[in-house]
Amino acid sequence: MCGIVGYIGKSAAPSILINGLRRLEYRGYDSAGLAIVEDGKIIVAKAPGKVVSLSDRARDTWPTERFSQVSYGIAHTRWATHGPPTEVNAHPHLDQSGDIALVHNGIIENYRSLRARLEAKGHLFLSETDTEVLSHLIGDRYDGNLFQAVCDALHQVEGTFGIAVISVKEPGKIITARRGSPIVLGIGEGETIIASDAAAILTHTQRVIYLDDNDIAIVTADSIEIRDLHNVPVNREVAELDFDSSAAEKGGFAHFMLKEIHEQPESLRNAIRGRLDFNLGSSVLSGMGTSPRDLAEINRVVLVGCGTSLHSGLIGEYAFEDLADTHAEVQQAAEFRYRNPIISRSDLVIAISQSGETADTLAAVREANQKGAFVMGLCNVVGSTIARETGRGIYLHAGPEISVASTKAFTCQVTVLLMMALKMGRSRRFSRQEGMDFARQIEAIPALVEQVILQNDHIAAVAERYAKNEHAFFIGRGPLYPVALEGALKLKEISYIHAEGYHAAELKHGPIALLENGTLVIALANDIPGKDKTLGNVEECKARGARILGIITAGDHEAAEIMDDVIEIPACHPLVATIPTAVALQLLAYHIANIRGCEIDQPRNLAKSVTVE
């Protein structure tokens, strides 16, 4: 959510800031702005809408001959939380004097009381945002030391923040800090780039430093000094980014989402590579940091996540119970910390987050650690907060995911969870031969997904027949039930069609009342245990006039006969079948959204990384 870019160096800052914001557009936003220091004054350009509007506004503000003379500044894309997406509410915000500018990701929870206190001292506020309160608070504390003023202000705020601050009184310096909202610093040659996401840094450098919570950094073109909020120096390691800027390009595809769907066979190979031991019938996941004895002593697996990650966790629940003979449950991360969960030291808590920065999931990690659980992270972004705070877990190696709607991260999450369940199963009751057989099933996943992607044109033709529907129901049983939830989520995210996912057995318990002539029902009727009952549910839907699109196992003529349309999935293990089935639904959602003319990569109101609760 939101995006921060800061630059200080030897190049034209406005161009670098705007290009950095463009690389963060996928995160979701509704307005943008930037601020630079010129001739002893802070000059701000803002615009509601897309970064292109800000670019036009900036070029009006800084004619071409002045554009290259500005060497540092800060910029922001805003996802509205306090106040609508207007120019006055866009970041950066200034303090009362106009000498300090601030960009901010996160939420200041006590901004109302702070604002009232500042208004009593004569401060005048222009916006409805919580962020403007923070800029005024820093200005109010400023006595010649910007670093100390930021520290003093942050001691008074409650909530989350990733910030970058500049002042006309201390040129050549940017102050940046974080708590609960990511900040990464890119180290270049005579330049430093500040960003909320490494995507904005890739074109400049591969060398980065990730700030930890309550870090505050003094950044110049040639130096980075990191302290905590009590002004105590801290050391943070320099890391190397493991992908390049080409990964953030569309590569000839119409949308990032379509590109990322097609990247899944390779992403899955990367997730699997070197992690299967066919001799032992197990998996090699050194990041878990566990011995067979450790795994044998785990009594319960708790999977926490939000959205798509929650759905992958639901599939993991089936896998841990079926393969590892272990009680497993899934909890919505936002509820985990507030419901006082019963957690013991024999519990394994797996935090699932593509970005590794999801605020609710991070809070769940901290609560699980507090209660003494064995905690692991399942993340895609190397160096992310959840990865660092868990200290153990598995990276997905899915590569950068730009589209807001998650595709390859989801299938890699499920694949890694299957490997984790296999490893745990081999430490318990799963035999060597069973392990070897299932390892071969996992190894085949990329090829299975390739067979689904080859049906792209067929799925596009099917989408054409259903793109005008305004309601859709997804039904499935067993491990395909979470896939029904994920399929419905994908469709509603990018096409704005009202879509619901249900366990097929739940239809008769209420939802069937909504069926009428022409209602679209997408039935996940793969050849797995419970298929016959799902087909019975399909017949019930047809009797009420619904149109049925069946996702079925290739060659299943019995299932095909009762469907209006079918998409075929290669035969495979029921747990493995979740992955090619999900890919088919991703393609279906994509083509329906494309036919409807929707903005696929940046759906309205959504953000890629949800870093506020």
Query: What is the side-by-side strand order in the sheet with 174-179?
Result: 93-94, 100-105, 161-167, 174-179, 215-219, 224-228
Q: What is the pLDDT of residues 91-103, one digit of tens each?
A: 999 999 999 999 9
Q: What is the pLDDT of residues 421-466, one digit of tens each?
A: 999 999 988 899 999 999 999 999 999 999 999 999 999 999 999 9
CB distance 612 to 1 below 8 Å = yes
Mean pLDDT score of the chain, rounded to an integer?
90
CB distance 389 to 366 below 8 Å = yes
Nearest C-alpha neighbor of 609 from the set 380, 289, 293, 277: 380
**pLDDT beyond 80 at 250:** no
Q: Rounded to two decimals, what is the model's pTM?
A: 0.79
Q: What is the pLDDT of residues 8-60, one digit of tens each?
A: 998 888 889 988 888 887 666 788 899 998 888 898 998 888 888 888 887 77
- Known catalytic residues are 2, 608
Share of the chain above pLDDT 70, in %: 95
Residue type, 512: I
Task: Give dist(CA 22, CA 46) in Å, integer.
Answer: 15
What the block records as the tokens of 315 is: 């599939």
Q: What is the pLDDT of residues 387-426, one digit of tens each?
A: 888 888 899 988 888 888 999 999 999 999 999 999 999 9
Which pLDDT does position 28 carry in this prediction? 67
φ/ψ (deg, to 5) at 300: -155, 145
Pick from 272-276, 310-314, 601-605: least confident: 601-605
**pLDDT beyond 70 at 67:** no
Q: What is the pLDDT of residues 529-577, one digit of tens each?
A: 999 999 999 998 998 889 999 999 999 999 999 999 999 999 999 999 9
3-247 and 445-604 agree in CATH topology: no
Domain spanning 3-247: CATH 3.60.20.10:
yes
- CATH homologous superfamily of 254-443 equals Glucose-6-phosphate isomerase like protein; domain 1 (3.40.50.10490)
**pLDDT beyond 70 at 1:** no
Domain ranges of the chain: 3-247, 254-443, 445-604
Q: What is the pLDDT of residues 264-299, one digit of tens each?
A: 999 999 999 999 999 999 999 988 888 888 888 899
**pLDDT beyond 60 at 609:** no
Which pLDDT does position 198 carry in this prediction? 83
Task: Give dist(CA 226, CA 215) in Å, integer.
Answer: 7
Task: Give dist(CA 283, CA 260) in Å, integer.
Answer: 26
φ/ψ (deg, to 5) at 176: -135, 145
**For residue 41, how many other CB atoms are within 10 A of its CB?**
11
**pLDDT beyond 70 at 68:** no
User: What CATH number labels 445-604?
Assistant: 3.40.50.10490
User: Between 59 and 210, where is the model more confident?
Assistant: 210
Task: Give dist(CA 349, CA 364) in Å, integer.
Answer: 9
